[in-house]
Structure 1
């Protein structure tokens, strides 16, 4: 049986919350532990937001409960009407995450049959201790940047292999169908990387670091275009001389495909290939025209594939300059 880090933090924060609440002489100290259990989330940011929203939720719950208990008394009917009013208002104010926790604390007013300032302060202290301890324990998060860099390297290696095989199989009679399977594998790898990148971004409380999220989004867009290129690859059937320059372009891209390559040099080469095709004689038959059109479309997709990376590099250079 494996005990994860989050489980350890949950158990520790609950125990410490109850100990602290007891040491301060608060009523119902176990509630602080339960609140803490419900407030340990996967990231620092979600823990902080959860804590803030629950405090607002408790303030709203206390106000609604005060009105209901004053009119109907500290009775089950009073609590029922409180729920009828509190739940829809909390949902409308996007405080639904705190409905259960706040309502549990409101039952303490019901049990004590009073809503003195001292008791209200007791409930707020239980909430503050519970969410505060969860946030404190959540301040420790394992560094996933190493994992993100490893994911980048794996994804780029798969991209390189697909581009290399595309160069080899372009205009060949035998097409490599496994390239489509590799594209699906690429999609899964990118999705996994995006999930890790999201956690990494949400654990940066004092800085906004979306580089890895943007990186994997960029690679996802490229993977979609890559699959469209593969679909055209199956249809391209022209003379070997006509696809020579594109083969060379794909081969060169597979060798230079990397995180720090801005794609500018490849785009210059694409412009050269366009010029080469403009100088070729016009197609003489309908079949030649259709094949040339498919080849031209393939080249356009490839240009978009590289432009996505170029735009990503420009955007992050611009952000770096603004921060500097």
Structure 2
């Protein structure tokens, strides 16, 4: 049996919430512990937002409960009417996450047969203590930046390998299937990296830096272009004198593929290859024409592949990492 960090933080925050609520002489101190259990989330920002929304939800619930219990009395019918009004109101104001917790606290108004400032203050103190300790526990989060940097290195190595293989397997039909599988593995790894990047961003309470999210999104878009390039390569047979230019382009890209490469030099090389093909003799057969058209399409997709990184680099230079 494995006990995770979130489980430990949940247990500690619930215990401390109950102890503190009891030491203040609040009614139903166990409720503070339950609130804390429900408020420990995976990231700092979600924990903070959950706490704020639940306080707002309790305020809304208290207003509606006051109207219902004052008019209909402290009974089950009044509580049912309260639910009929509160649930749609909470959904409308996007406070649905606090429906259950707030309604449990409202039942304490019902049990106490009281809606004085004393009992209302009691419920708000319970909520504040519960969400407060949950947030306090979530202030500590393992640093995921090291993992993100390691994932970047793995992803770039996977890109380099696929690009080298594409150059190596040019005009060797049948081997693309293995590259398609590698592309799928690459995309799955990028998706995992995106999830970690989102968690990393949500754990920055002050900073709004989304560099890693943008980085993994950029690589995911590039992986889509890479798969499109493979589909085209699978459909054409490049003329031997033309294969050299494409192979050199792919190999150079693989050699220089890195986080800090803005892609401008590769874009220049792509333009040079375009110029070489413009000066070649026109195709003489239908097959040559179709292959030349596919080759042009391949260069267009490859250019798009590099432009994705160039645009990302430009955005980072303008906004800062």
TM-score band w.r.t. shorter chain = over 0.9
Tell me the TM-score normalised to structure 2 length: 0.99
Q: Shift in Å at residue 311 of structure 1? A: 0.5
TM value normalised by structure 1: 0.98
Q: CA deviation at 1:287?
A: 1.2
Moved over 6 A (4+): none
Distance in 2 between residues matched to 1:177 and 1:59, nearest whole Å:
59
Match of 1:87 in 2: 87
Question: What are the within-5 Å matches in structure 2 for residues 267-286 of structure 1?
Answer: 267-286=267-286
Which digits, 9 at most, give the CA deviation of each residue in 1:142-171, with x for residues without a partner?
000011011111111111000000001112
CA distance in 2, matches of 1:231, 1:13: 54
Q: Secondary structure at the match of 1:177?
A: helix
Q: For structure 1, list consecutive stretches of 5 or more residues without a partner in the other structure.
A: none
CA RMSD of aligned residues (A): 0.9
C-alpha displacement of 1:174: 4.7
Instruction: State whether structure 2 residue 144 is matched by structure 1 residue 144.
Output: yes
Question: Any conservation in 2 of the 1:43–1:138 contact (CA below 8 Å)?
Answer: yes
8 Å Cα contact 1:66/1:115 also seen in 2:
yes
Q: 2:265 corresponds to which residue?
A: 265
Contact 1:164 1:254 in 2 (8 A): yes
Residues 14 and 37 of structure 2 are in contact (CA less than 8 Å); yes or no, is this contact kept in structure 1? yes
Distance 1:97 1:248 in 2: 56
- Report the counterpart of residue 190 of structure 1 in structure 2: 190
Q: State the SS of the aligned residue for 2:320.
A: helix
Match of 1:103 in 2: 103
Distance 1:222 1:176 in 2: 18
Contact between 2:47 and 2:135, CA under 8 Å: does it hold in 1?
A: yes
1:170 aligns with 2:170: yes
Question: Are the counterparts in 1 of residues 16 and 133 from structure 2 also a CA contact under 8 Å?
Answer: yes
**Which residue of the partner structure matches residue 12 of structure 1?**
12
1:302 aligns to 2:302 (yes or no): yes
* Offset at residue 176 of structure 1 (A): 3.6
How far does the alpha carbon of each residue in 1:55-103 deviate from its partner, in whole angstroms, 9 at most, with x for none? 0000000000000001110000010100010000100110000000000
Alpha carbons 1:158, 1:186 under 8 Å: kept: yes
CA offsets, 1:269-295, max 9 Å, x none? Answer: 001000000000111111111000000
Match of 2:207 in 1: 207
* Partner Cα distance (2:187, 2:81) in 1: 50
Q: 1:170, 1:236 within 8 Å by CA — same for their partners in 2?
A: no
Structure 2 unmatched ranges of 5 or more: none
Whether the aligned pair in 2 keeps the contact of 1:58 and 1:102 (CA below 8 Å) is yes
Q: Name which of structure 1's ranges 164-173 and 5-14 shifts more when overlaid on structure 2.
A: 164-173
Question: Cα distance, 1:173 vs. partner?
Answer: 4.4
What is the CA–CA distance in structure 1 between the aligned matches of 2:204 and 2:173, rounded to whole Å?
52
For 2:82 and 2:89, the matched residues in 1 are separated by 11
Shift of 1:212: 0.4
Q: Matched residues in 1 for 2:2 and 2:185: separation?
A: 29
Deviation of 1:238 after TM superposition, in Å, equals 2.8
Contact 2:176 2:234 in 1 (8 A): no
